[in-house]
């Protein structure tokens, strides 16, 4: 019996200079990039090839580059493997938009239009912060204990719950630094790493972006996915277009429950998880999300897209 296949797509932070150089040499991938240029900008190739790390990490640039990379990688891989049958899709944070493309719920063009609006709205929020804000990656034997510990410091919230032992907290930089200091002083069994990002994504700080995204989605058609999409905003399978639109808006301020989404896919019978990317990431988290022996994983790098 064939394993049910679920595609994985990463979120913001995987960008790096030159991320699309090899990709653009693949005709099927270049064709997708050309389709995305009208929405994501004439500078899209620059983002994917020569833009330095610091400006590329800015929200407006990173989200556009990552989405283009996701969609071009996946559709080029599909073109090289026309018999591949997908049974589900998961996108970590902004990666859910690429997952919706893979599932047939969004066209390439509409996905680009939405990401352009999302990237701009998120960037505008960052520019309006009155004090430094950001994210901190936290790892522990049990991230549930980390969730309980945030009450020890005011001004932070859980932004992403990625695996059983890893997630991200968001808030003011002062609060995040206070949390890290308290963890060190009291010898908590956690590792706290402050991240170089513009803001605390998936927290209330991004509430102003919701109106922009809701307006953008009024002009974009979301179809019923041809395969289930497991969304981190709800941690569940989502197939209703109206509900999917609602979650794309709510995602701006809601904790990203990626761990729940992966486990929901497993419960639904997905046993083979595949990520096609210049730098696979979510596929490497599976060992901290699912029981050993309950899944197989495939990481496909750009150079391997055309491999049989």
**Residues near 156 by beta carbon (within 8 Å), at least 6 away in sequence:** 150, 169, 170, 171, 172, 175, 176, 179
Digit-coded pLDDT (tens) for 50-99: 999 999 999 999 999 999 999 999 999 999 999 999 999 999 999 999 99
Interval 107-122 mean pLDDT: 98
Digit-coded pLDDT (tens) for 184-234: 999 999 999 999 899 999 999 999 999 999 999 999 999 999 999 999 999
Do 87 and 227 contact (CB within 8 A), yes or no?
A: yes
Nearest to 296 by CA among 43, 1, 4: 4
Dig out the tokens for 72 from the structure.
């071009």
What is the CATH number assigned to the segment(s) 133-194? 3.30.70.250
Tokens 């407006």 identify what position? 60
Percentage helix, strand, coil for the chain under 3-state DSSP, each rounded to 5: 45, 20, 35
CATH 3.30.70.250 domain residues, the chain: 133-194
CATH 3.40.366.10 domain residues, the chain: 4-127+208-304
Provide φ and ψ at 271, rounded to 5°: -125, -15
Q: What is the predicted pLDDT for the residue at 2?
A: 75
pLDDT grade for 101, boundaries at 50, 70 and 90: very high
Q: How many percent of the chain have pLDDT more than 90?
A: 97
- Torsion 224-281-58-197 (CA) sign: positive
- Examine the pLDDT at 308 and tell me if it is beyond 60: no
Average pLDDT along the chain: 96
Interval 269-279 mean pLDDT: 97
pTM check: above 0.95 = yes
Q: What is the predicted pLDDT for the residue at 307?
A: 67
The class of domain 4-127+208-304 in CATH terms is: alpha beta
Digit-coded pLDDT (tens) for 3-61: 899 999 999 999 999 999 999 999 999 999 999 999 999 999 999 999 999 999 999 99
Digit-coded pLDDT (tens) for 222-244: 999 999 999 999 999 999 999 99
Interval 94-123 mean pLDDT: 98
pLDDT grade for 306, boundaries at 50, 70 and 90: confident
């Amino acid at each position: 019996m064939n394993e049910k296949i679920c595609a994985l797509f990463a979120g913001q932070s995987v960008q790096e200079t030159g991320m699309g150089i090899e990709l653009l040499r693949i005709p099927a991938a270049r064709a997708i990039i050309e389709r995305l240029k009208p929405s994501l900008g004439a500078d899209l190739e620059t983002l994917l090839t020569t833009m330095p790390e610091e400006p590329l990490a800015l929200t407006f640039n990173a989200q556009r580059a990552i989405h283009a990379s996701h969609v071009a990688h996946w559709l080029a891989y599909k073109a090289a493997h026309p018999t591949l049958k997908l049974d589900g899709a998961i996108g970590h944070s902004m990666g859910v938009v690429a997952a919706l493309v893979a599932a047939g719920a969004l066209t390439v063009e509409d996905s680009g239009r939405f990401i352009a609006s999302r990237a701009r709205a998120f960037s505008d929020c960052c520019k309006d912060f009155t004090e430094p804000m950001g994210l901190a990656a936290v790892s522990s034997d049990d991230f549930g204990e980390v969730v309980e510990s945030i009450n020890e410091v005011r001004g932070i919230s859980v932004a992403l719950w990625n695996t059983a032992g890893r997630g991200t907290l968001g808030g003011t930089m002062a609060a995040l630094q206070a949390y890290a200091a308290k963890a060190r002083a009291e010898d908590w069994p956690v590792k706290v790493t402050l991240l170089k990002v513009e803001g605390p994504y998936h927290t209330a700080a991004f509430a102003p972006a919701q109106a922009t995204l809701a307006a953008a989605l009024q002009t974009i058609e979301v179809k019923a996915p041809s395969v289930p999409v497991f969304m981190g905003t709800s941690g569940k399978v989502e197939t209703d277009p109206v509900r999917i639109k609602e979650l794309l808006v709510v995602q701006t301020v809601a904790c990203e429950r990626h761990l729940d989404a992966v486990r929901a896919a497993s419960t639904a019978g997905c046993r083979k998880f595949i990520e096609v990317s210049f730098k696979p990431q979510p596929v490497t988290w599976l060992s901290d999300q699912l029981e050993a022996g309950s899944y197989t994983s495939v990481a496909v790098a750009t150079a391997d897209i055309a491999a049989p």
